[in-house]
Structure 1
Amino acid sequence: MKKVLITGADGFIGSHLTEALVKQGYQVKAFVQYNSFNTWGWLDQSPKELLDHVEIFSGDIRDPYGVKTAMNDCEGVLHLASLIAIPYSYHSPDTYIDTNVKGTLNVLQAAKELNVKKVVHTSTSEVYGTARYVPIDESHPLQGQSPYSASKIGADQLAMSFYSSFNTPVAIIRPFNTYGPRQSARAVIPTIITQIASGKETIKLGAIHPTRDFNYVKDTVAGFISILESDKAIGEVINIGSNYEVSIGETVELIAKVMGSNVTIETDDQRIRPEKSEVERLWADNEKAKKLLNWHPEFSGIDGFKKGLAETAEWFTNKNNLKRYKVSRYNI
Structure 2
Amino acid sequence: MNENLTVLVTGADGFIGSHLTEALVRRGYKVRAFVCYNSFNSWGWLDHCADDVKGKFEVVAGDIRDPHGVRAAMQGCDAVFHLAALIAIPFSYHSPDTYVDTNIKGTLNILQAAREIGVSKVVHTSTSEVYGTAQFVPINESHPLQGQSPYSASKIGADQIAYSFFTSFNLPVVTVRPFNTYGPRQSARAVIPTIITQIANGATKIDLGSTSPTRDFSYVDDTVGGFISAMESDNGIGEAVNLGTNFEISIRDTAALIAKQMGVEIQIESTIERSRPEKSEVERLWADNSKAKELFGWSPTLGGIEGLSQGLEKTITWFRDPGNLFLYKADKYNI
TM-score range, shorter chain: over 0.9
Matches within 5 A, 1:36-115: 36-115=39-118
Matches within 5 A, 1:110-189: 110-189=113-192
With 41-50 and 209-218 compared, the bigger mean Cα shift is at: 41-50
Amino acid at match of 1:328: D
Query: Are 1:198 and 2:201 an aligned pair?
Result: yes
Amino acid at match of 1:306: S
With 39-48 and 150-159 compared, the bigger mean Cα shift is at: 39-48
Amino acid at match of 1:89: S
Post-superposition shift, 1:51?
2.6
TM-score by length of 2: 0.98
Distance 1:188 1:137 in 2: 24
Distance 1:266 1:10 in 2: 32
Amino acid at match of 2:55: D
Post-superposition shift, 1:47?
3.0
Post-superposition shift, 1:268?
1.5
Partner of 1:213: 216
Post-superposition shift, 1:182?
0.1
Amino acid at match of 2:261: V
2:262 paired residue among 251, 259, 263:
259
| Equivalent position SS for 1:310 | helix
Partner of 1:281: 284
Post-superposition shift, 1:48?
4.5
Post-superposition shift, 1:92?
0.2
Q: Deviations over 1:261-306 (max 9, x none)?
A: 1101011210010000000000000000111111010010010000
Distance 1:160 1:9 in 2: 23
Amino acid at match of 2:331: S
Runs of 4 or more off by more than 2 Å in structure 1? none
- Alignment size in residue pairs: 332
Distance 1:195 1:91 in 2: 24
Amino acid at match of 1:252: A
Distance 1:324 1:179 in 2: 17
Distance 2:236 2:6 in 1: 19
Partner of 2:6: 3
Amino acid at match of 1:293: F
Percent identity between matched residues is: 67
Gaps of 5+ in 2: none
Q: Deviations over 1:22-73 (max 9, x none)?
A: 0000000000000010010000001344131100000000000000000010
Partner of 1:306: 309
Amino acid at match of 2:163: M
Amino acid at match of 1:302: I
TM-score by length of 1: 0.99
Amino acid at match of 1:257: K
Amino acid at match of 1:190: P
Distance 2:236 2:78 in 1: 16
Distance 1:169 1:291 in 2: 19
2:240 paired residue among 237, 242, 246:
237
Gaps of 5+ in 1: none
Distance 2:141 2:119 in 1: 25
| Equivalent position SS for 2:157 | helix
Q: CA RMSD in A?
A: 0.6
Distance 1:196 1:47 in 2: 26
Amino acid at match of 1:323: F
Distance 2:148 2:136 in 1: 16
Amino acid at match of 1:288: K
Q: Deviations over 1:1-28 (max 9, x none)?
A: 4110000000000000000000000000
Amino acid at match of 2:149: S
Distance 2:275 2:294 in 1: 38
2:332 paired residue among 322, 325, 329:
329
Query: Are 1:22 and 2:25 an aligned pair?
Result: yes
